[in-house]
């Protein structure tokens, strides 16, 4: 199983991002590969990132509509309660909230996270 990190969503949305082409390719994999999924946590963090970058409510709505169009709803996975407990442990060790949620989900499902994030890569299997 592969899980798409927030970094992929942000890169795919912004054509000026240095990772845009690769990120868009990774995002497209979700539709084509039966074993690639988007954690709901990544989508929530994506919304917070673009809000923090000054996107208006309408721009955020458009970005989330694009994401909903791009990712089939059956390819979105949620954290279990057990992974939330693991995320809390990772946070106690200094990991950020959203990174801990994605890493904990990856650990629980023995998944590989598509990311360049060093915090996640230090705890879970990762690729780019």
The predicted structure's pLDDT at residue 102: 99
pLDDT tens over the chain, length 128 residues:
999 999 999 999 999 999 999 999 999 999 999 999 999 999 999 999 999 999 999 999 999 999 999 999 999 999 999 999 999 999 999 999 999 999 999 999 999 999 999 999 999 999 99
Q: In the 3-class helix/strand/coil scheme, how is 22-58 assigned residue by residue? A: HHHHHHHHHHHCCCEEEEHHHHHHHHHHHHHCCCCHH
Burial of 93 (0-12, 13-18, 19+ CB in 10 A): exposed
Domains, the chain, with CATH or none: 2-122 (3.40.50.1010)
| β strands within 5-128, DSSP E | 36-39, 76-77, 112-114, 125-127
d(CA 31, CA 68): 12
d(CA 128, CA 117): 10
d(CA 102, CA 111): 10
The predicted structure's pLDDT at residue 105: 99
């Amino acid at each position: 199983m592969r899980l798409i990190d927030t970094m992929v969503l942000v890169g795919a949305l912004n054509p000026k991002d240095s990772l845009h082409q690769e990120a868009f390719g990774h995002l497209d994999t979700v539709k084509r590969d039966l074993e690639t999924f988007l954690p709901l946590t990544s989508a929530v963090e994506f919304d917070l990132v673009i809000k923090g970058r000054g996107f208006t409510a309408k721009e955020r709505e458009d970005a989330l509509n694009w994401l909903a169009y791009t990712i089939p709803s059956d390819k979105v996975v949620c954290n279990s309660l057990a992974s939330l407990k693991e995320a809390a442990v990772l946070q106690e060790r200094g990991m950020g909230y959203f990174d801990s949620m994605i890493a904990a989900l990856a650990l629980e499902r023995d998944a590989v996270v598509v990311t360049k994030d060093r915090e996640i890569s230090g705890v879970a299997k990762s690729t780019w």
